A = this chain, B = another copy of it.
Amino acid sequence: MYEHVTNLRVRYVEVDSMGYVYHGNYASYYEVGRTELMRNLGSSYKKLEDEGVLMPVIHLECHYIRPARYDDEIRIVTRIQKFTHTQITFSYRIYNQDNQLINEGSTTLVFVNSQTMKPRRSPKWFAEIIEKTLTN
């Protein structure tokens, strides 16, 4: 199954007073994961935006297993879990520098027209890229 790996370093601003990455910040780590997955497929969120397609998130799920701390180097493993032309679900596993699983989650996004903000199908070229990835 196709998956993409992105590394990033935890920033001071992302850590809360427990010394742990604030739980809400994993949403943006996931965002970095799928942004880089899409870039790697030759697509990009920015390219979709330029074509008038936005992708708001309709569902988010995070399961916190171990904490991440300031200056940790974490590894985000992103997969396309499901694609239906109107929705796409990405799943994520995040590991720390000791290769321990620290977080698992998923986000489901829909395609909307950026003028009307109404749901629409994904652009054909985008669907082709995704489907090709899923069948490989």
Contact = CB atoms under 8 A, between A and B. Distances in A.
Contact of A44 (B16, B49, B71, B114): B71
A20 interface: yes
A58 B66 CA distance: 9
Interface string A1-41: 00000000001110111111011111110011001000000
A123 interface: no
Interface residues of A, number: 39
A23 B70 contact: no
- Grouping DSSP codes into helix (H, G, I), strand (E, B) and loop, the A interface class, with mixed when no group exceeds half, is mixed
Greatest chain B CB density within 10 A among A24, A28, A54 is at A24
A67 to B, nearest CB: 7
Interface string A38-52: 000000111001000
Interface of A: 11-13, 15-20, 22-28, 31-32, 35, 44-46, 49, 54, 56-64, 67, 70-71, 107, 114, 117
